[in-house]
Amino acid sequence: MDAWSMTKDADGATPLIAVDRANFAAVADALGATVRRWCAANGFAGEAGRFVLVPDADGAAGVVLAGCDAREGVFALASLPPRLPEGRYTLDARGLALDAGDVALGWALGAYQFTRYRKPARKPAQLVIDDAVAARVEALAAAAYQVRDLVNTPTEDMGPAELAGAVRALAERHGAQYREWVGDELLAANFPTIHAVGRASHRAPRLAELTAGSAGAPHLVLVGKGVCFDTGGLDIKPSDGMRWMKKDMGGAAHAIALASLVLAAKLPVRLTLLVPAVENAIAGNAYRPGEVVTTRAGISVEVDNTDAEGRLVLCDALAYAAEHKPDLILDFATLTGAARVALGPDLPALFANRDDVAGALLEAAQATRDPLWRLPLWRPYLAMLDSHVADLANAGASRHAGAITAALYLERFVPDAQAWAHLDVYSWNDADKPGRPRGGEAQGLRAYFEFLRRRYS
């Protein structure tokens, strides 16, 4: 548990008392005059985001009063791990009645450090938890860390082969089946759009597939966009737009982490995980604006914009997923800037072709305080993707409703009878916030796992 700054060793742990402005005076009075004076000297009265460490008679840490807003749920105390002095802390019952699992998960999320390329400046403080809390949060913390680590890793060390390697490693850990199609094998196996997007890179495109579970169980397919770097192709991005495109495989990171949660929980499903992994690079053989590609589904697509590549790699994977006639297909993608313009960085945009699926996902999001926001599949907007030479264009001249038209494009590759949901996710924190350090981020992951747990348990 040290990996997530949680421990079961309570020996010498400092009591941590959560307070707010409303209950601060009563808690301070109960702790005695020394504590009241110490808090007054430090100008502390239970303000959220602040804490005061009160020494004991020997000058050692005696008790910590931490101001918080209980409405923040998981993130109520998540700012503390990198700010408190190193050591062990135990949540004290004399403070606010916070959910121990929420506190522990927030603590783990706040303690995260990406250490592949540099040593951390210090160790985060540790929270003492018991076996029951550990059972609730360890897998969730590990999954969130996996998303962050995958997204934070630069493309040189997280190219198509390495991303597919994460799927292979997951299969090996759980005794699942694994296979992949690499380079021209994609053409032979009829995955033409995955090949088209990735063919210009010196690292071959590929499709990674994991399968696990009983053939008679409900079939769940998870699909994640794995564009390991996106230059925009020949419709090249400006430098500021390209700077963080190592994160364009964030959808794949979410799908891999969610698959790991499903497998660890042994949900009674037949699981398929699909990760099309490519680089959208520029070279003499790069795919061009105006080209027409006939997709796996037999739908011809005109390339209006090479920077709308995510939907191209996803459409072949979705068509392949639909061939299995599963109970449910869920895809994840850092697909559009338009979703961020509409909803900002913290709200993933949810699209679903079934109201019951969307409703259950939103209920799970509310229960886990892991927000999602549904946007409509407004089918009249599909006309924005009309092509005069092919069945469909991958983008269009209008800048209106970009997240919706992208989702509508994907929907063309999902049969009407097939239940499906698509999540347009940012996968990134632009700045440090409590429990959400700058860099790669898991968004909607807890909500989706809770949804699946309720659906299949």
pLDDT tens for each residue of 184-229: 999 999 999 999 999 999 999 999 999 999 999 999 999 999 999 9
- Look at residue 121 in the predicted model and tell me its pLDDT: 86
Between CA 333 and CA 326 the distance in angstroms is 20
Query: What SS3 state is found at 413?
Result: coil
Relative to beta strand 439-440, strand 428-429 is antiparallel
Tokens standing for 37? 């004076």
Ranges in the chain annotated CATH 3.40.630.10? 141-456
Pairing of strands 206-212, 270-280: antiparallel
Q: What's the CATH class of domain 141-456? A: alpha beta
Residues involved in catalysis: 237, 311
In angstroms, rounded to a whole number, what is the distance separating the alpha carbons of residues 273 and 212?
9
Say yes or no: domain 4-111 is CATH 3.40.220.10.
Answer: yes
pLDDT of 57: 72
State the span(s) of the chain assigned CATH 3.40.220.10: 4-111
| DSSP character string of 265-320 | HT-SSEEEEEEEEEEE--STT---TT-EEE-TTS-EEE-S-TT--HHHHHHHHHHH
**Residues in the chain where the model's pLDDT stays below 50:** none
